[in-house]
Chains A and B, each alone.
Chain A
């Protein structure tokens, strides 16, 4: 047994990181392999499948590009402005991302749909109706869903620009334009490819939203084709083949984003609060104000309509809805703990094994984004079957799968911060002989607090609204909140369903806010 604490710590990191990597391999490739094995081989794709691949790529490219392009000016405006309620606004603007898709779509349609606010306004003014359904609808829904994520990722980026740089810029007479070129652009150059990739991958596996907003089978995505292969054609081989294609797309996108992304080289500062000197002219203020208002309206009005629709029915909800809320809360908290532990282990391992192999691990962490939930659910079911009744593990599996699904986001949020800590504090910590748990507690975690809080909030909220694999596994433990929502709708109880949607929205937001506020307590967005 070695007595060198540095070596012990390194071994522990590799062990834990290896464990997480093994779980991700099982989750992503083991499940797919199990489906392919059960199908006794892969089936060739048909013409319609390739049409689905084409549509999936087109809508995902548009959605990711627009989300990121719109997020840049909004995040920039939010980063350089201080106003009352800014924190709450940033928190609320994150909400669409954590909504269950069904709720998000109904909220969006209440604004942009045939009977929505926009069309009522247009008709009132004597204009024709706007048709939202089609590629434009798919992209609109995906931007609504992902703009919050992109904005938050970029806001974090702005927060990593050391205060000293802005101070230095101010002494050199930098205006907004010079600040952008010298300070903000390098940061964007580092973060935008990653943000684009994550959103691209999220949109790649879209299914119900794409079909509903796309107006029909022209908007068939790969995930819907997988669903069709499972449920209509009963052809697991084709499902596995389609899932492989989905992975292939993910790998190409990942490779591309990795090639484009450049380290910002901004270095580190003394962790002072950022003070901006380029908030200048009235026209710039008005411009930023207009951007923030427009972004907030786009993201918040649909949510407000969901809330208004549900509010009168919350008090009369059946007790089972509240029980389900409690159960979902447990799953969400469990998934959050598992995700943070897994992410920290993986992130440390990525840094420990060096750039080349680290990139492989990082890619593995992202791969779950491109995995088909349907394939994962079915595959895990087949994998667990030889060892017992999969349904006895429903909540645990749900928790682990949710953690695997949230890990890509958490990793993206935590890894840059951890690299920063290693670069800026690593040598000092080494020379002080800080290793292992002590180093994690004293040096690393306090510095990661902001991204940890955000990652935890995101994971908790995402798990809360996830329907995911539980429908196949659930049997005895009872329903989660999203399941109750669907049960109520299936039973025509649309008012109760609206109330439940509000409970879901409220509890997801509350969880998100709690963790995020914890993370930001000593930091400024």
Chain B
């Protein structure tokens, strides 16, 4: 049977249109560089989607909030756990429609809107040549008076906010006294992670607030095993980065395929070294060796969005009181 010509043409046109499809992904600025996770994700997904992936990088949450319904794009990737409630409240997202049983996080994650693609804990990172016996618990850190710290301001940094909630969970109403104590060992508090980490590597402090996965970079990329994260027995605050599908997506199907791709083995194998953090849906024995060998805290502390939202203001009040006393 021969098909009429117009059917062939229509089929070809459709195929052509499908080929020209573009998935627009909004992402934080660091996705845009060749050494960030962006290029690997683009290449990996384009190889299977028959489409073009276009990253639009910049501050993600402010754009969501300022643009509202006018926001153009299909997928948003790179929202921090501390930003999810705000993002959700914009009402601009739709269900990802993925089965999340494959997730390998140390915390429960049942969310129809956001899928985590990597995770880590916040931790105090130290230089093994400068600090011989790191504290083994938060309580020990508080007791020690021979340690200097640099960390980030909870008002301007995601890691700083995680520390705020970490102390809040460990010490509750006694947090103010803890902050007073920490203030005495604090060299300074910076606005962002870059300043703090840069100052730490220049020797300004013994420990810096960063992530349990930070040492992996130094080991793998610099062949330097002198950086380590101090593991505290009380547990560490958990953070993750997530992606979601925009309700106004021009390519909803492609967007959902992209969500599935995030959970695929290929993506998960790649993300650890692309973003220097743990993969979200890959059993530990399949992680890159260096990541597998990093000491892992036994307990992950994590508040639900609503709990975190309820705690942040009182916790900040304790912090401000304690730090400025």
- Bound together: yes
Tell me whether B35 and A491 are in contact (CB under 8 A): yes
Complex CA distance for A473 and B59, rounded to whole angstroms:
8
Interface centre among A106, A217, A486 (most CB of B within 10 A): A217
- B62 vs chain A, min Cβ distance (A): 6
Q: Which stretch, A206-214, A287-295, A337-345, touches the partner chain B?
A: A206-214
Q: CB-defined interface of A274-309 with B at 8 Å, one 1/0 digit per residue?
A: 000000000000000000000000000000000000
B side interface size, CB within 8 A = 55
A389 at the interface (CB under 8 A from B): yes
Chain B residues within an 8 Å CB radius of A224: 153, 155-156, 191
Tell me whether A490 and B190 are in contact (CB under 8 A): no
Tell me whether A382 and B66 are in contact (CB under 8 A): yes
Q: CB-defined interface of B189-204 with A at 8 Å, one 1/0 digit per residue?
A: 1111111011101111
A437 at the interface (CB under 8 A from B): no
Closest to B275 in A: A491
Chain A residues within an 8 Å CB radius of B187: 114, 133, 215
B32 at the interface (CB under 8 A from A): yes
Tell me whether A216 and B188 are in contact (CB under 8 A): yes
Task: Tell me whether A211 and B276 are in contact in the complex, defined as CB-CB below 8 angstroms, given that A320-B33, A320-B34, A476-B56 are known contacts.
Answer: no
Complex CA distance for A227 and B197, rounded to whole angstroms:
21
A524 at the interface (CB under 8 A from B): no
Chain B residues within an 8 Å CB radius of A422: none
Closest to A483 in B: B29
Chain B residues within an 8 Å CB radius of A109: 199, 202, 204
Question: Which A127-152 residues sit within 8 Å CB-CB of chain B?
Answer: 133
Tell me whether A492 and B214 are in contact (CB under 8 A): yes
Tell me whether B276 and A115 are in contact (CB under 8 A): no
Complex CA distance for A105 and B198, rounded to whole angstroms:
10
Q: Which stretch, A228-236, A413-421, A440-448, touches the partner chain B?
A: A228-236
Closest to B66 in A: A381
B167 at the interface (CB under 8 A from A): no
Closest to A386 in B: B70
B88 at the interface (CB under 8 A from A): no
Chain B residues within an 8 Å CB radius of A318: 34-35
Interface size class of A (residues with CB under 8 A): 35 or more
B86 at the interface (CB under 8 A from A): yes
B320 at the interface (CB under 8 A from A): yes
B94 at the interface (CB under 8 A from A): no
Task: Tell me whether A208 and B191 are in contact in the complex, defined as CB-CB below 8 angstroms, given that A115-B204, A475-B56 are known contacts.
Answer: yes
A102 at the interface (CB under 8 A from B): yes
Tell me whether A494 and B153 are in contact (CB under 8 A): no
Q: CB-defined interface of A142-175 with B at 8 Å, one 1/0 digit per residue?
A: 0000000000000000000000000000000000
A interface with B by C-beta (< 8 Å): 38, 48, 51, 102, 105-106, 109-110, 113-115, 133, 207-208, 211-218, 224, 227-228, 230-232, 234, 318, 320, 378, 381-382, 385, 389, 391, 471-476, 478-479, 483-484, 486-494, 497
Q: What are 28 sample pairs from A and B whose C-beta atoms fall under 8 A apart? A: A51-B324, A115-B203, A207-B191, A211-B191, A214-B188, A215-B188, A216-B186, A217-B319, A217-B320, A217-B324, A227-B191, A232-B156, A381-B66, A391-B58, A471-B58, A472-B58, A472-B59, A472-B62, A475-B56, A475-B58, A476-B56, A484-B33, A487-B32, A487-B35, A487-B36, A489-B197, A491-B30, A493-B221
